[in-house]
Homo-oligomer: A and B are copies of this chain.
Amino acid sequence: MSTPKTDARTRLLDAGMQLLRERGYDATRVEDLCSAAGVTKGAFFHHFASKADYGVAAAQHWTNITAPMFAAADYHAAPTPLARIFAYLDLRRAMIAGAPAQFSCVAGTMAQEVFETQPAIRDACGVSIAGHAATLEADFAAAIAEHGLGDVVEAADLALHTQVVLQGGYVVAKALDDTAAVVASIDHLRRYLMLLFKQEEKLQ
């Protein structure tokens, strides 16, 4: 890193997105983050009061990175709410490639580990996951209204359920060392929504 493009704080947070997903919060040492970012420990503690403080910032950084990416993604261009939801699932499915550290979720990984020991980090992870789920809510609400499913399911529940399937897929993919688990579960989720919204004709 001869010529740092960005400031140390951003580089530390960027480096964390990879390391935290690989090793989790506890096993990621402050010095690991520093060397990956090409800075020293002095810089780390200049920008973050503690490792826990960094954890909170990392969860927020994860949101700051992913939110604009999803907001700018193609799937919003689909013509109907339901089409947008299926296009979203197609995107999430296509994102499953390489190692789990590449496609899994920083917030989910950290939350699972520190939910009891680091409430501040857990809350930041919760905000990240809930916030992303919320971006799906309007399309689900419109699809539910369109199909008269108002007293069968709730938009917020369905939106969160998509995240549950993704997070669970990551866990199982890691445990079985096989990405097929996530992909298969996304397909099951897709089939559920197909059936629920009575799109049988699209089921192969």
A interface with B by C-beta (< 8 Å): 22-24, 26-27, 99-101, 107-109, 111-117, 122-123, 125-126, 129-130, 152-153, 157-158, 160-161, 163-172, 174-177, 181-182, 184-185, 188, 191-192, 195-196, 203
Q: Is the CB of A185 within 8 A of B172?
A: no
Q: Is the CB of B188 within 8 A of A157?
A: yes
Q: Is the CB of B160 within 8 A of A27?
A: no
Q: Which residue of B lies closest to A119 (CB)?
A: B177
- Given known contacts A27-B26, A158-B188, A184-B157, is B130 in contact with A176 (CB within 8 Å)? yes
- Given known contacts A172-B164, A195-B196, is B26 in contact with A116 (CB within 8 Å)? no
CB distance from A107 to the nearest CB of B (A): 7
Ordered nearest first, which 7 A-B pairs have the shortest CB separation? A168-B168, A26-B26, A111-B175, A115-B174, A195-B195, A164-B168, A192-B192
CB distance from A69 to the nearest CB of B (A): 20
Q: Is the CB of B108 within 8 A of A175?
A: yes
Q: Is the CB of B24 within 8 A of A112?
A: yes
A57 to B112, CA, bound (A): 21
Q: Which residue of B lies closest to A182 (CB)?
A: B164
CB distance from A114 to the nearest CB of B (A): 7
Q: Which residue of B lies closest to A26 (CB)?
A: B26
Q: Is the CB of A203 within 8 A of B152?
A: yes
- Residues of B within 8 Å of A164, CB to CB, are 165, 168-169, 171-172, 181-182, 185
Q: Is the CB of A107 within 8 A of B175?
A: yes
A117 to B100, CA, bound (A): 13
A157 to B178, CA, bound (A): 13
